[in-house]
């Protein structure tokens, strides 16, 4: 059977009503200011809406403090004012059983009080009239009074030098930081090369020491092979072998082997090289042939480290390529989608 249903309007909870009231009061000036610049310089009628879009169910009541200046309908009576008048408007917001009262301070200025824009327009018109009157004079005498108010003039200060100075200081700071950044970049590249060459160096030491050469002779043999390959063009410059050549030169000058190897580790400044030198120093002090096993383990760890380093470099390269690949994908989508959309139109 047909049933008649009446749905009552939804009412806000106390919390919802409070939030709604606060939100409306934050924007209330926008709805009532009318053609005035703001509520601190009112010289024309105000708008007093009973409700505002977006705040359904909220009724607004307006109660000006001084109705001789601002009427209940928002009419502004400022013809007889001799100066600005401070007053306020009580705003009552109500929805359902909840209501809240707010006080809105306003400032009414006398009728005919010009705003800054209007004053500027009057001054410009006055100067233009003076210019037309003095068109035959060698110079222009600017008007010195507007509506009984004395006018003074000053040329705007040129602040270009401040921008140039700030730019110069900024550029100087960047130029000062550049050498340090270049140094850090070179050091990072050098450390990377040392890590990548470490397994190759250790494997050569193992081969020559396994063939019966002492640590010193194996070291010198490696440096001689490197110099020969470098001169013949079979190999490029490699940081670790350059450092080994310096160490070999120190040894040939009479520097003790242990001290020369220690200097080598210090120049390389890497934990792997320090560990290698400690193994070689132990071999020199004790003559322990068991150092070969330690070198074998060190070489295996070095190859693992090199593999992990290569893997990390590959991941970094993929990350750097993400932006170009993304831009390429967008370009391809545009090239393929735009013609299809145009044909559909």
Closest CA to 209 of 222, 196, 200: 222
Task: Please state which of the ranges 69-83, 303-317, 319-333 shows the lowest mean pLDDT.
Answer: 303-317
In a domain, 191, yes or no: yes
pLDDT confidence band for 93 (50 / 70 / 90) = very high
Q: Single out the residue in 108, 130, 152 at which a domain terminates.
A: 108
Q: Is residue 145 part of a domain?
A: no
pLDDT at 269: 80
- Residues 191, 314: one domain? yes
- Which residues have a Cβ under 8 Å from the Cβ of 111 and sit 6 or more positions away? 43, 78, 79, 81
Residue 312's alpha-carbon distances to 198, 201, 307, 318, in angstroms, are 17, 22, 9, 10
- Dihedral angle of Cα 62, 68, 73, 76, to the nearest 10 degrees: -110
Claim to verify: residue 211 and residue 99 sit in the same structural domain: no
Residue 84 within a domain = yes
User: Kind and range of the H or E element at 90?
Assistant: strand 85-95
Mean pLDDT lowest among 164-168, 330-334, 341-345 = 341-345
Note whether 221 and 208 are within 8 A (CB). yes
The reported pLDDT for the residue numbered 90 is 92
Within-domain flag for 325: no
Same domain, 89 and 192: no
Nearest to 106 by CA among 73, 61, 76: 76
* 78 — pLDDT class (breaks 50, 70, 90): confident
If phi over 0 gives left and psi between -120 and 50 gives alpha, with beta otherwise, what is residue 44? beta
Residue 134 lies in a domain: no
State whether 309 and 193 are in the same domain. Answer: yes
Per-residue pLDDT at 61: 92
Per the structure, how many domains does the chain have?
A: 2
CA distance 252 to 216: 10
Domain assignment present for residue 122? The answer is: no
| Boundaries of domain holding 304 | 187-320
Residue 312 or residue 66, greater confidence: 66
- Percent pLDDT > 90 in the chain is 6
Instruction: Render pLDDT for 97-136 as a digit per residue (tens, 0 to 9).
Output: 889 999 989 888 887 665 566 677 778 888 888 888 888 8
Is residue 28 domain-resident? yes
Q: In the listed set 88, 108, 128, which residue is the last one of a domain according to the structure?
A: 108
């Amino acid at each position: 059977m047909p049933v008649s249903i009446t749905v009552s309007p939804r009412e806000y909870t106390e919390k919802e009503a409070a939030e709604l009231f606060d939100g409306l009061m934050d924007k209330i000036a926008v709805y009532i200011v009318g053609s005035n610049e703001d509520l601190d310089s009112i010289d024309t009628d105000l708008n007093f809406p009973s409700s505002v879009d977006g705040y359904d169910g909220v009724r607004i009541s307006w109660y000006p403090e001084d109705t001789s200046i601002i009427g209940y309908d928002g009419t502004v009576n400022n013809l007889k004012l001799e100066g600005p008048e401070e007053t306020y408007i009580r705003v009552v917001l109500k929805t359902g059983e909840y209501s809240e009262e707010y006080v809105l301070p306003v400032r009414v200025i006398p009728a005919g009080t010009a705003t800054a824009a209007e004053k500027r327009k009057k001054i410009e018109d006055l100067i233009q009239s003076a210019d037309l009157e003095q068109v035959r004079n060698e110079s222009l005498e600017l008007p010195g009074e507007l509506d009984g108010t004395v006018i003074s003039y000053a040329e705007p200060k040129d602040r270009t030098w401040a921008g140039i100075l700030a730019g110069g200081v900024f550029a100087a700071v960047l130029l000062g930081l550049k050498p340090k950044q270049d140094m850090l970049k070179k050091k990072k590249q050098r450390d990377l090369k040392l890590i990548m060459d470490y397994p190759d160096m250790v494997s050569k030491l193992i081969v020559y020491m396994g063939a019966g050469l002492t640590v010193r002779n194996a070291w010198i043999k490696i440096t001689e092979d490197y110099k020969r390959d470098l001169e013949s063009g079979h190999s490029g410059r490699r940081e670790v072998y350059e450092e080994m050549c310096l160490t070999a030169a120190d040894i040939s000058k009479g520097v003790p082997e242990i001290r020369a190897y220690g200097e080598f580790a210090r120049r390389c400044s890497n934990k792997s090289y320090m560990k290698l030198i400690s193994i070689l120093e132990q071999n020199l002090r004790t003559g322990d042939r068991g150092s070969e096993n330690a070198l074998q383990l060190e070489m295996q760890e070095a190859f693992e480290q090199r593999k992990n380093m290569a893997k990390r470099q590959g991941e970094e390269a993929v990350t750097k390529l993400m932006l170009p690949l993304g831009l390429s994908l967008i370009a391809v989508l545009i090239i393929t989608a735009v013609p299809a959309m145009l044909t559909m139109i």
